[in-house]
Amino acid sequence: KAEGIVPGLSVRENIALAALPGLSRFGLVDEKRVDKIVDTFVQRLRIKTSGVGQKVGELSGGNQQKVLLAR
């Protein structure tokens, strides 16, 4: 089980990492579900980002912690 954030990955990728087993079927990821889940976490946790494609390493420490919490 991975802990912590992966600074080189995007906000979307970091949040999706923990949920991937439940979001895939037959090895295919349901991208629409991933987008919906990620958008929900970004809004609820008020993660300040230029977009879910932004690298987590570019976020402030507080927003990095919010991404970790979303995982």
Give the tens place of pLDDT for each residue, 24-59: 788 888 899 999 999 999 999 999 999 999 999 999
> pTM of the full predicted structure?
0.85
| Identity of residue 23 | L
Q: Would you state the pLDDT for residue 1?
A: 36
Distance, in Å, from the CA atom of 8 to the CA atom of 58, rounded to the nearest integer, reads 9
φ, ψ for residue 21, nearest 5 deg = -55, -35
Query: Is the pLDDT reported for residue 22 higher than 50?
Result: yes
